[in-house]
Amino acid sequence: MKPLFKKTKYIQVNTSTTIIHKTEPNVPSGSWIKCPQCHEVVYKDDYRNNGYICPQCQKHFRMSAPQRLKMILDKGTYTPLFLEMTTENVLDFKGYEHKIQGLQEKTGIDEAVLTGTGRIKGIKVAIAVMDSRFLMGSMGHVVGERITRLTELATQEHLPLILFTASGGARMQEGIISLMQMAKTAAALKRHHDEGGFYVTVLTDPTSGGVTASFAMLGDIILSEPGAFIGFAGPRVIRDTIRQELPEGFQTAEFLLEHGFVDVIVERKQLRDRLHQLLVLHHYNSDDESDGEIDDVREEVIE
């Protein structure tokens, strides 16, 4: 009887054979980022050196508040204000203190907005920059109070006020107290306007909720970065409420520009120069500029 299985060939293994191990390339972890718009893989140093903009498709990535201040203000001129204000769990929301403490350690900032004074090409400004890394830039009582106090300071010292928005809206952990910040900031901005103050908002990705419904859209001039999401409620909520299909891209900076809600879209690399031009046009002078030089800049901008 023949066996069912029979080995007819055997493989001989040479014990002296050297096994070559394939080595992985020595690339540090986290050195690359995938652009969500063009899906290209970009070396992080390249996009940092490009102003946090994708070198392939020019998508503007989100920036932290410290990065933004460094890019916009003259070196060494930023003076932080209102650091003594600390976030409190006013509604005894479970786990809120632990969440705030963890974000402070992770981000290196104490709240969702940094406020202070600085200079743009020599011109002193009051400036606030929101940071979406901190609870999605949500507006709690500290955020609202800092912006209000900065606005009052700008009014008293006759400084131009510049505010960079990046927020998901009111902070749910503070309930009605968060919503009160909308009226408080708007009232301070009204007094600033009545005193002849100049206020510029720069809408960055994302700007939504109660921030959009208050100080974000109250600027004398409203700028935006390309492609920024700007809206009040989310598209799904709006669609389910009105039971209609929404226009494509209706909550982008480009759509809002077309419909008159935004004055101009400015590339990030040009933003510092554009802000300086606006300040000069509104008769804010640098300490070290002569009247003749200021007039030259005004003529250049008008042309």
pLDDT at 43 over 90: no
Of 297, 290, 291, 292, the residue nearest 273 (C-alpha): 297
- What are 129-187's pLDDT values in tens digits? 999 999 999 999 999 999 999 999 999 999 999 999 999 999 999 999 999 999 999 99
> Residue 166: what pLDDT?
97
Strands 113-120 and 79-80: antiparallel
CA distance readout (Å), 217 to 27, 167, 207, 254: 44, 13, 10, 15
Strands 161-167 and 123-130: parallel
- What are 46-74's pLDDT values in tens digits? 888 899 999 888 889 899 999 999 999 99
> Residue 245: what pLDDT?
86
pLDDT at 302 over 70: no
pTM here?
A: 0.84
- What are 187-242's pLDDT values in tens digits? 999 999 999 999 999 999 999 999 999 999 999 999 999 999 999 988 888 888 88
Q: Which residue has the higher pLDDT, 289 or 105?
A: 105
DSSP string, 136-165: GG-B-HHHHHHHHHHHHHHHHHT--EEEEE
Domain boundaries, the chain: 30-61, 62-302
Taking the C-alpha atoms of residue 181 and residue 186, their distance in angstroms, rounded to an integer, is 8
What CATH number matches the domain at 62-302, 3.40.50.1820, 3.90.226.10, 3.30.70.20, 3.50.50.60?
3.90.226.10
- What are 228-287's pLDDT values in tens digits? 999 998 888 888 888 888 888 889 999 999 999 999 999 999 999 999 999 999 999 887
